[in-house]
Structure 1
Amino acid sequence: MSEKTPDLFSDALTDLLAPLSRAMVAHGVTVGAATEAIKMALMNAVIDAHGPDVSDSRVSVMTGLHRKDVRRLRSSAPSVDGRKTANRLALLIGHWATAPDFQGTDDRPRALLRETTEEGPGFDELVRRVRLDAAPGTMLQALLDQGAVAEDPEGRFQLTLRALVPGTGSKELVAAYRATLTAHMTAATQNLLAESGDIRHFDRVVRYSHLTTESVSELDTLARAEAQALLERLNMRARELQERDADQNARGRFAAGAYILPVLDTTQKDAE
């Protein structure tokens, strides 16, 4: 590695941390808490690279952490987060939205009773098929709380969202933010560190500037429609494959996402 590379990455680090810092300030995260999180992340990076038996001294040398901090961090209990709940809700919605047994005659997600009837499997069966280690009543209440499901006067539950959109300030929203950015940054980081000849993850972006507000809005609408269609196709095929692989003790993981960042031309509005 050349002497310039660390400096180049250090310069990039400020920009990489800028949006994260906005979220930290908004959530009241102080420099003390941020420093503790960075210490834990640096230690875990060395352990991931060199195995769980790497010595405290080696971690200290590679990260600049004091050995006393390494010992303390290694003995601390893992934090509990809401990612499992958010992932369970997303899996339920995805299965409900695409599995043939849960579709109505109009090819839209069918309203479900709790129990299975001659109309088809109910909500409790949906939870069983998705293989969630959670009580159906708990998952139903979480979906109702998120506004993803509504109950009609006949006691049927209708899926109102085709994707999980957690409410503002909810733990599920933080969990989704965490999971989405972690997956994207993991793919990008592996590409950054890949050696010559290594397989690289697909990570592309289209950027254009000097666009009017109308043009930005048109591209935003097009991108949302195309991205949603792609994710729905992937979701449908992934559900089919997961059902096929269910009895093979498979542990492979797959993640694909999309982001769209329209920035409107505010000077155009000011000039009017």
Structure 2
Amino acid sequence: MCKLHIMLQVLDSLLAPLARLMVARGVAFPDLAERLKVHYVAAAARSGAKTDSRISVITGLQRRDIARLRAEPPREERPNHLATLIARWQTDRAYVGQPIPKSGPAPSFEALANDIRRDIHPRTMLDTLEAAGTVTVEQDHITLAQTSYQPLAGSEDQIAYLAHNLGDHMAAATDNVTGHTPPHFERAVHYEGLTAAQIALLQADHREAQMQVFERLSAKAAAMKVLPSGEATHRFRAGAYFYPTDAAQQDAQE
């Protein structure tokens, strides 16, 4: 089987869910194709191609498109201020995950929110967190109901989470396939022939175990950030997923 045929099979697995997402979010194919051109050019440049002509040979794109795309300014990352707020609430010594007053000087939700973003009203942040079930509000005090901010389904914050999580997972997997040393940790377990009830038990076990790992990593990382360092330019993302499906229904849909 030729390499191109294998890579086309890979594309089918990757692009099928991406196409569902783009259609669901109203992104037309020409817009997707334009963004894909940008990353083809960047990948070719990263591989060592320095001229537009060389990038054209590698990517198959026309030189006028390459020149235009290379001249575009990079898009700015949109930080998730609510996730940052919850992380600070859990790790900052003034808060340490405890219930806090709604307003007033620190430690209060108002003071914490203003520390994170002064251009967004604390009430707006609070309403979003309450709607997502991340916090509970009782009179003048606010309590953390979850250890992390889980955005509402379909919200812009959830889409941003998807982009960062899948982007880093794909980057790690691509590094491993292309020979990155040392390889990134990437493992998965897969079984067929189970009942829906058995899947539910396994899913609950997976969720509990992963949350313990995430909370431990978060606590350690927060403690490390307290120590000043001139080399603190690195970041990490650790993730996990559990995807159950009915194979019979999936086969019928395909």
Q: What is the aligned partner in structure 2 of residue 255 from structure 1?
A: 237
Query: 1:98–1:109: 8 Å Cα contact kept in structure 2?
Result: no
Shift of 1:143: 4.4
Match of 2:98 among 83, 95, 109: 109
Q: Secondary structure at the match of 2:143?
A: strand
Give the conservation status (yes or no) of the 8 Å contact 1:149–1:160: yes
Report if the CA contact (8 A) 1:89-1:139 is conserved: no
- Give yes or no for contact 2:113–2:125 (8 Å, CA) kept in 1: no
**What's the C-alpha RMSD, in Å, of the aligned pairs?**
2.6
Shift of 1:4: 3.0
Provide the TM-score with structure 1 as the length reference. 0.80
Q: Could you tell me how far apart the structure 2 residues matched to 1:59 and 1:89 are?
A: 40
The residue number in structure 2 matching 1:153 is 139
Deviation at 1:113, TM superposition (A): 4.2
> Which residue matches 1:177?
162
Shift, 1:8, TM fit: 1.5
Q: 1:168 aligns with which of 130, 137, 153?
A: 153
How far apart are 1:249 and its partner, in Å?
5.4
Partner of 2:38: 40
Matches within 5 A, 1:55-204: 55-79=51-75, 83-84=78-79, 86=80, 88-103=81-96, 109-116=98-105, 121-123=107-109, 126=112, 132=116, 134-135=117-118, 138=121, 141-147=124-130, 148-154=134-140, 156-194=141-179, 198-204=181-187
| Cα deviation code 1:159-206 (max 9, x no counterpart) | 3332111122221111111011001000000001016xx210000001
- Tell me the distance in 2 between the aligned counterparts of 1:95 and 1:136: 18
Deviation of residue 138 (structure 1)? 3.9
TM-score by length of structure 2 reads 0.85
Q: Which segments of 5 or more consecutive residues in structure 2 lack a partner in the other structure?
A: 250-254
The 2-side partners of 1:176 and 1:143 are apart by 19
1: distance between equivalents of 2:124 and 2:144? 13
Identity %: 30
Partner in structure 2 of residue 24 of structure 1? 22
CA contact (8 A) 1:99 1:236 kept: no
Q: In the alignment, is the contact (CA less than 8 A) between 1:46 and 1:59 conserved in 2?
A: yes
Kindly indicate whether the alpha-carbon contact (under 8 Å) linking 1:89 and 1:143 is maintained by their aligned counterparts in 2. no
Q: Give the deviation of 1:235 after TM superposition.
A: 0.8
Give the aligned partner of residue 220 of structure 1: 203
> 1 CA distance for matches of 2:166 and 2:71?
27
**How much does 1:243 deviate?**
1.5
* Residue type of the alignment partner of 2:238: A
Contact 2:151–2:158 under 8 Å retained in 1: yes
Give the CA deviation at 1:10. 2.2
* 1:37 shift after superposition: 1.3
From 213, 224, 234, give the equivalent of 1:241: 224
Q: Once structures 1 and 2 are overlaid, which stretch shifts more, 26-35 or 213-222?
A: 26-35
Instruction: Tell me the distance in 1 between the aligned counterparts of 2:210 and 2:18.
Output: 24
Instruction: Give how far 1:9 is off.
Output: 1.6
Residue-by-residue CA offset, 1:81-128 (whole Å, 9 max, x unaligned) = 6x31x2x3212212312444313xxxx5322444446xxx33465468
User: Which range is displaced more, 94-103 or 26-35?
Assistant: 94-103
| Between 42-51 and 207-216, the greater mean CA deviation after superposition | 42-51
**Cα 1:38/1:249, change in 2 over 3 Å:** same
Letter of the 1:213 counterpart: A
1:120-165 C-alpha deviation (Å, 9 max, x unpaired): x33465468xx75x328546623432433444322x3333332111
- Structure 1 equivalent of residue 252 of structure 2: none
What is the CA-CA distance between 1:228 and the residue it aligns to?
Answer: 1.0
Q: Which residue of structure 2 lines up, in the alignment, with residue 270 of structure 1?
A: none
For this pair of structures, how many residues does the alignment match? 246
